[in-house]
Amino acid sequence: MGLFYKKSKNVLTKELLNTGNNKDLKDLYLYSLNSLFFRSDEFINSHDEKLHVLFSGCSETLGEALPINLTWSKNVYNILNQSNNLSGYFNIAERGSNNFQIISDIYKYIIKYGKPNIIIINFTEMFRGYVSFEDQLCIAQYYPSVRVFNKNSNQNLNKNNSIEINVLLNHFYEYYLMLEEYCRVSNIQLICFSWALYESNKENIKNKLIDKDFNNKTINILKQFESYINLSFDELQKFKEIEFKKINEKQMDQDVLNCLDYALDKSHCGYLENMYWSYKVLERIFDDYSWN
């Protein structure tokens, strides 16, 4: 299941971008998908000594409800491609992915298309896990994730197919550890962060379904990994202020103005936060890269 699981035959090669209630915008934006229905260039197994970069994540890396040129992964790709000859824009992100699928799909990709030089991951929420169904051997066909933590009761949502959130975190640590070690011995640069985790002195503002203590616990665990980029809510706000001033000083494309803070569905992260993520990644790649 996962990366090379054949999706519905009804999926078109161009899919309408989810614009939520913004019905007037629905005809303006299309997802261009490859033959395996990923928002990516066609996957290839020969990269001809070119720089091979792979992006992975959930809908926030797919760029849900955002034009492709406004997504963090495409921005990183475009800037890298200015100084390097990249073999293509390869993005295996899928809607609803959990962190276990995100990591395991990378191995599946490597088996078929070769080892990338750089792997960049935007991890999702820590309480997504696999779901088993009676008529399936492994996971749901398209949305393999489930929110398994009930903040009010601190109990499983469904004892038949969910596990406690701290167990999920422990398992995720092991998955991440194995991936980082694999990349180290394979001479692959691994760069990771999570859209769902921001360090802040304030009450947890990114994820309303977990409390601040668990948020901070998760961040402290992930900071042990050399490949992990810690995001700061205060830094994000500063970045947004600086970028917003730049936008006001020049004529911006209407695409940008439509989704500064939120994507077109008013649910996923917008242009400014995507640019913050891309700059944090580029700071890791280039020693002298700075946005401020």
- Domains of the chain from N-terminus onward: 14-284 (3.40.50.1110)
User: Residue 208 to residues 98, 124, 144: CA-CA distances in angstroms?
Assistant: 18, 14, 21
Confidence of residue 292 (pLDDT cuts 50, 70, 90): low
Determine if the pTM surpasses 0.75: yes
Task: Please give the torsion angle defined by the CA atoms of residues 73, 76, 78 and 80, in that order, rounded to the nearest 10 degrees.
Answer: -140
Residue 283 has phi, psi (to 5 degrees) of: -60, -35
Residue 48 vs residues 117, 188, 217, 270: alpha-carbon distances, Å: 13, 17, 43, 35
pLDDT digits 0-9 by tens, 184-228: 999 999 999 999 999 876 554 555 555 677 788 899 999 999 999
What value does the mean pLDDT of the chain take?
80
Q: Confirm if 118 and 54 have CB atoms less than 8 A apart.
A: yes
CA 31 vs. chain centroid, Å, equals: 17
Rank 21-30, 178-187, 236-245 by mean pLDDT and report only the highest: 178-187
State whether residue 24 is helix, strand or coil. helix
Note the pLDDT tens digit of each residue in 238-271.
Answer: 999 999 888 876 667 777 888 899 998 888 999 9
- Greater model confidence, 213 or 117: 117
